[in-house]
Amino acid sequence: MLTDTAAQLSVATILDAGEHSIRLRLETGEEVAGRMALGYSYRPNAGDLVVAIGQAGRHFVIGVLRGTGRTVFSAPADLDIEAPNGRINLVSSEEIRATAPEVTLRASRVQIVAKTMIEKLGDAYRWVKGLFEV
């Protein structure tokens, strides 16, 4: 139990990050070893600006203010993302990828708006009930 000093909250810069430990420069200029303690998996990069808390020589990153690292959400089995009364928006400035042996999309309506569309298919099958117009 950490009881010998009060906990200190600080803005810090990641100096370097290994698999299990990181080096931080606190706003006081002090360089310390630390560990990630976020509620999600974040792999920090040098230069990231974080919130760290420390007590008795132990420091933990509890927030990311400006990050360039990778955030990974991983589930050991099925994963459901639901918004039963709303929308789900996926937004990226670069790219969104879906990779799987099989992808199924079920909807009453699918709308694709694109400047360019490229399709590469081994075989293509299309069943249309009603109007098909090109």
In this structure, what DSSP letter does residue 24 have? E
Tens-digit pLDDT profile for residues 59-68 = 999 999 999 9
Tens-digit pLDDT profile for residues 76-134 = 999 999 999 999 999 999 999 999 999 999 999 999 999 999 999 999 999 999 998 88
Sign of the CA dihedral running 19, 20, 21, 22: positive
Q: How many CB atoms lie within 10 A of CB 50?
A: 25
In sequence order, what DSSP letters do the residues of the chain get, joined into one string?
Answer: ---SS--EEEEEEEEEE-SS-EEEEETTS-EEEEEE--SSEEE--TT-EEEEEEETTEEEEEEEEE--SEEE---SS------TTS------SS------S------S------S------SS-----SS----
| Per-residue confidence (pLDDT) for residue 73, from 0 to 100 | 86
Tens-digit pLDDT profile for residues 1-56 = 545 578 899 999 999 998 778 999 999 999 999 999 998 889 999 999 999 999 98
Residue identified by tokens 């420069």 is: 25
What is this structure's pTM? 0.67
